[in-house]
Amino acid sequence: MPKITHVVKRTGAVVPFNQERITNAIYRAAVAAGGRDRTVAERLSDHVVAMLEETIPADHIPTVEEIQDVVEKVLIENGHAKTAKGYILYREQRAQGRRERARLSEKSTENIPWRKLWEVLNWAVDHDVYTIERLNARIAGGEFAQIVHEADRAYTEDITTAAEVIRSRGGVRVVIVAGPSSSGKTTTTVKLSHLLGKMGHNLVPLTIDNYFFDLELHPRDEFGDYDFETPHALDLPLINEHLVRLVAGEEVLIPQYDFKTGKRRDHQTPLRVDPHDIILIDSLHGLYADMTRGIDDGYKFKLYIEPLLQIKDDAGRYVRWTDLRLMRRMVRDATHRAYDPQQTLEHWHYVRSSEMRHIIPYVNTTDYIVNSGLPYELPVMCARLFAHFERWVDQYRDDPLRLDAFARAERVSHLLRQVAPVEDESAIPADSLLREFIGGSCYEV
């Protein structure tokens, strides 16, 4: 019976075979179907390996597609129909994602209204920061502080407009501030709360992070990295139940999640909202339908935030928003969580995969979009991260298991090489959105 030692990836690269990847894929599908027993996933992956070793010729290196076919067969034959369905759907979503990325690019703009993008681009042209070359020229002319002031003012005006829209609608019971990782949800939520408070609204925050399942129940990869970016890492039925009861005027007991231990304690903090209060949710997956399915759409106001920066590099390509957010998360994790930036880079494929499946498709369901892109963050990030990206390019260049990390490192390295770095951050005020990531914010982050 031949032993499987290697596998052919879709790129054609031959890499060592790792059964843990099969276990994780099965467990991920089980989680999506409501199951959380990893031992079952391990047992099923043993069946998959046994079937592969029985059917794969001794001189043949199996492909990823061939292994996935066997996984589907084993799940169905062993009576795990729901998990098999979840696996098949996930597999098809991944295939569609690859086709879409090949057709367009990773920077997906089709769900952002073109009017909004035009407004951002028009602002960039008016303020002479529509290319990196022009941004560098203004900085060289001693105008960095002025750029900070102009960009922060535009961001504040955007949030003010959102608050006025909420006030004018009436009957709103739940305000959702959603957006992908490091888009600036925390600062935006605080500023929006202050503005609505001045308009006479009392906002009651509901901290969604308290609804995480225990960390040990989350899917992991072969490197031991937990996939906590998926909405299924949250107890969605419980969130929905509590929201329905709160809107109905009932008291609920909010759970408490301890990030140090990775454990959740249920029935901890009592919460009740008055009939005229607004429940405020700041959540990565606030647009995901299952989270608020029981709340009538007329009661909900959904705000989406994204750094919609419209600035071109020396080749005429727009800076990718996902790269801006990656750099933000790197410095935030290093500043506030003692998390190595390299770990953030290696984890980012989870972030992006979940965004493409669970966030981006729902952008067109939002009531208002806020632009959190700040031209001045590029020179700040250049000073902080350029040397790291240069090193990562060399480190990952010939590593077939880190193709995603290499591609991102190479792209961002090329971008930052064009930017004039700014090390003196004193011109950035404490209430700036960028302070949420680089430190020194006057808001709790």
200 lies in the same domain as 154: yes
List all residues 6 or more positions away from 143 whose beta carbon is below 8 Å from its beta carbon. none
On whether both 209 and 342 belong to a single domain, the answer is: yes
Give a yes or no: residue 397 inside a domain: yes
pLDDT tens digits, 4-24: 888 888 767 788 888 888 888
CA-CA distance, 318 to 314, in Å (whole number)? 10
For residue 174, the domain's CATH number is 3.40.50.300
Neighbours of 369 (CB within 10 A): 24
Is 87 found in the same domain as 140?
A: no
Q: Is residue 1 part of a domain?
A: no
State the angle between helix axes of 132-140 and 144-169 in degrees (0 to 180), rounded to the nearest 10: 120
Domain count, the chain: 2
Domain that holds residue 87: 6-103
Which two three-digit tokens encode residue 213? Answer: 């399942």
Q: What does pTM read for this prediction? A: 0.75
- Both tokens of residue 135? 């941004």
pLDDT for position 104: 42
In percent, how much of the chain has pLDDT > 70? Answer: 92
97 and 142 in a common domain: no
Residue 224 belongs to a domain: yes
Of the three residues 75, 103, 131, the one that is the final residue of a domain is 103
Which of 59, 75, 103 represents a domain boundary (last residue)? 103
Residues 20 and 73 in one domain: yes
65 & 126 share domain: no
Q: With b meaning 16 or more CB within 10 Å and e meaning fewer, what string describes 253-286? A: ebbebeeeebebeeeeeebebeeeebbbbbbbbb
Give the pLDDT band (50/70/90) at residue 293: very high
Phi, psi at residue 249, to the nearest 5°? Answer: 95, 10
Encode the chain in three state secondary structure.
CCCCCEEECCCCCEEECCHHHHHHHHHHHHHHCCCCCHHHHHHHHHHHHHHHHHHCCCCCCCEHHHHHHHHHHHHHHCCCHHHHHHHHHHHHHHHHHHHHHHHCCCCCCCCCCHHHHHHHHHHHHHCCCCEHHHHHHHHHCCCHHHHHHHHHHHHHHHHHHHHHHHHHHCCCCEEEEECCCCCCHHHHHHHHHHHHHHCCCCEEEECHHHHECCHHHCCECCCCCECCCCHHHECHHHHHHHHHHHHCCCCEEEEEEECCCCEEEEEEEEECCCCCCEEEEEECCCCCHHHCCCCCHHHEEEEEEECCCCCECCCCCECCHHHHHHHHHHHHHHHHCCCCHHHHHHHHHHHHHHHHHHCHHHHHHCCEEEECCCCCHHHHHHHHHHHHHHHHHHHHCCCHHHHHHHHHHHHHHHHHCCCCCCCCCCCCCCCCCCHHHHCCCCCCC
Residues 6+ apart with CB under 8 A from 407: none
pLDDT per residue as tens digits for the range 54-103: 888 878 888 888 888 888 888 888 888 778 777 776 676 666 655 554 44
Q: Are residues 69 and 168 in the same domain?
A: no
Task: Please indicate, yes or no, if residue 108 is contained in any of the structural domains.
Answer: no
Per the domain annotation, does 379 fall within a domain?
yes
* Residue pLDDT, tens place only, 381-408: 999 999 999 999 999 999 988 999 999 9
Q: Is residue 291 part of a domain?
A: yes
The CA-atom distances, in angstroms, between 419 and each of 127, 379, 434 are: 17, 6, 17
pLDDT digits (tens, 9 = 90+) for 322-351: 999 999 999 998 887 778 999 999 989 888
Assess whether 94 and 120 both reside in one domain.
Answer: no
Residues 89 and 172 in one domain: no
Two tokens at 345? 């880079």
443 within a domain of the structure (yes/no): no
Q: Are residues 99 and 200 in the same domain?
A: no
**Strand pairing partners for 304?**
178, 369
Same domain, 93 and 137: no
Give the model confidence (pLDDT) of 224-239 as tens digits: 666 667 788 899 999 9
**76 and 193, same domain (yes or no):** no
Specify if 444 maps to a domain: no
Quick check: 105 pLDDT over 50? no
Give the separation between CA 275 and CA 110, rounded to whole angstroms: 38
Q: Which of 103, 134, 150 is the last residue of a domain?
A: 103
| Strand ranges across the sheet with 203-206 | 203-206, 278-283, 174-178, 300-306, 368-371
Q: Output the pLDDT for position 24.
A: 82
